[in-house]
Amino acid sequence: MTVPSSPPSPPSPPACPPVSRGNARSARRDLADAPLLVAARGGRPSRVPVWFMRQAGRSLPEYRALREGVSMLRACADPEMLAEITLQPVRRHGVDAAILFSDIVVPLHAAGMEIDIVPGTGPVVAAPVRTAEAVAALPSLDPAQVSPVTDGIGLLLERLGDTPLIGFAGAPFTLASYLIEGGPSRNHEHTKALMHAEPRLWHELAGRLADITLAFLTAQLDAGVDAIQLFDSWAGALSPKDYREFVLPHSAKVLAGVGEYGVPRIHFGVGTGELLTAMRDAGADVVGVDWRVPLDEAVRRLAVPGGPAPVVQGNLDPALLMSSWPVIEAEVRRIVAEGRAAGGHIFNLGHGVLPDTDPEVLTRVVELVHSL
C-alpha cells in the first residue's frame, strides 16, 4: 500500500452535541510525565510504555475468583468491582496504564436496549435492528445512566497513583454490526447489505450510535480518564472505499467530539492494515496496529509528507505468548526496534490477551519492554 503524496482530507464530521465539561479539569490528574502520555503525544518518554488490551480479564486467577457467579454486565455496573478489576493487572504486571473494565455494549445496555453478553458467544441482541422503525426507536444515552462507570472512575483516580487511566468505547460501525447481525458475525452480511442497499438508513443508524458513543466517552472524560481508545473491532471486514464512505464520518464525529479535552485519542481495529491511513484521517492521535503489519511499515503508511512522525500502538501477536520465552523475547525486541521508526510507540498486543495466557509471561514482557 503506497502513501499518497497528499493524504485525502476526512469528511467534515456532523455537528456534535454540546459537551458538558462538568468538573473535568479538576478531576483529571497532572500526569504530564507519565510514559504512556508522553509517547502518545509524540514525545520521548523515560521508557517504552506498555499495556495490554484485555489485560484485566480471564488470564488472571484473581479476576476469575472475583467474577465467579457475576455476569459481565453486572460487573461493569458495580463501581467497586469495576475499579478492583481495572487495578488487578496494574498491581500484578506493573503496566504503564490501566484500561477501564467495561464492554463496548455497556452504553447500549445502559440506555435501555435489550442486549446481553452471553458467555462463549459475546453480545447478543434480542431484536436485530434492520428497519427504519427499529432505528427510529433507538434510545439516546443520558450520562446519568452510566453513573456506575463514572463512580468507578472516581474510585480509580484515588487508587491509581501516577498510572494513567484509559477510557474506551466501541466505534459506531462495530456497534452497528452487533445490532444489525444480532450478535457476532463472521461475514457481516446483513450489515453490508443494509449499508449498500439503504445508505440513508445506515447513516441514520451510525449517526445515532456515534451520539451514544460520544456521550459515553464524554462521561468518562468528565470523570477524569487520561486517554481514550475507540475500538472498531470489525472494521477490518471493510474495503478502504466502504470505510471512507460509510464509517469514517461517524468515527470522525466521535473523535472530534472529544477533541477539546486534549487527551490522547487512540483508534484500533483488527485486520485494518489497509485502513490505517483512513483511521488516522478519522482523527486519531495514536493508531493501533494489529500483528499483521510490522510497525515500521505501519509508520511508513501513516506518514504525512512534511508532518510529524506518526504515533503507533502495538503489536505483538497474542498467540505468541503461548510460545517459549526465547521466541517471545525475540519478538518483543523486534517490535520495540521497529517502533523506533515512529514519533512515539506504545507497546501492546495486536489484539487482546487470550484467556489461557500465563500471567507470569505478561509480567516478564513488561519487564523486558521497560529494559529496552
**What positions carry a catalytic annotation?**
54, 58, 67, 103, 178
Give the integer Cα–Cα distance in Å for 135 and 264. 32
Beta bridge partners of 328: none
Q: What are phi and psi of 242, to 5 degrees?
A: -65, -40
Sign of CA dihedral 168, 250, 297, 8: negative
Q: What one-character DSSP code corresponds to residue 236?
A: G
Q: Which long-range contacts (CB under 8 A, 24 or more apart) does 296-301 make?
A: 296/338, 296/339, 296/341, 298/273, 299/341, 299/342, 300/3, 300/341, 301/1, 301/3, 301/273, 301/276, 301/277
Question: What 3-state class would DSSP assign to 156?
Answer: helix
What residue has cell string 463512580?
A: 151
Instruction: Identify the DSSP state of 29.
Output: -
DSSP character for 1? Answer: -
Residue 117 parent element (H or E): strand 115-118
Residue 300 CB-density burial (10 A; 0-12 exposed, 13-18 middle, 19+ buried): middle
Strand, helix or coil at 2?
A: coil
Q: Which residue has the cell 496496529?
A: 289
